[in-house]
């Protein structure tokens, strides 16, 4: 049962980053990549080959935070996408809170339009948020 739970949690952890970049083209993965093994390795902080309950909880909490953040971002994206076409168009771009806050210093929408289709998909929107959102004090101090 513990192995099944660990495997499930590991797979969820690895799906989080992929979901962030749905609209962006993912980098090719080596054929031998094992997502479950990679998640296990990332969660096994003391590198002893076993996941303690503390390590599992920390990894699980990280997965939950990513899922909650993604859900909030999807809600915000849907609220701005007033014509419900699944993208943020140039007319909707100006209504983004982060763009309004940046004012004249706001980057042009094309800065984030990676595929140059004239609109922002969800993955491109996430990159915009990462670029324009205020950094947390701890992260800003570390940079």
Two tokens, residue 68 = 């909650």
pLDDT tens digits along 26-67: 666 555 689 999 999 999 999 999 999 999 999 999 999 999
pLDDT tens digits along 67-109: 999 999 999 999 999 999 999 999 999 999 999 999 999 999 9
Which residue bears the tokens 């997502």?
Answer: 35
Residue 77 neighbours by CB distance under 10 Å: 19
DSSP 41: H
Task: Give the domains, in start order, of the chain with CATH numbers.
Answer: 1-22+33-66 (no CATH), 81-134 (1.10.238.10)
User: Would the pTM count as exceeding 0.75?
Assistant: no
């Amino acid at each position: 049962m513990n192995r099944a739970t660990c495997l499930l949690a590991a797979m969820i952890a690895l799906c989080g980053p992929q979901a962030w970049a749905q609209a962006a083209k993912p980098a090719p993965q080596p054929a031998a990549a094992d997502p479950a093994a990679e998640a296990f390795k990332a969660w096994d902080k003391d590198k002893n080959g076993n996941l303690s309950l503390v390590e599992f909880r920390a990894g699980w909490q990280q997965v939950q935070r990513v899922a909650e953040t993604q859900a909030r971002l999807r809600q915000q994206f849907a609220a701005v996408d007033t014509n419900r076409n699944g993208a943020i168009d140039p007319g909707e771009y100006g209504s983004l809170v982060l763009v309004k806050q940046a004012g004249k210093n706001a980057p042009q929408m094309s800065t984030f339009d990676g595929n140059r289709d004239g609109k922002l998909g969800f993955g491109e929107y996430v990159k915009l948020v990462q670029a324009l959102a205020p950094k947390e004090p701890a992260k800003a101090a570390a940079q």
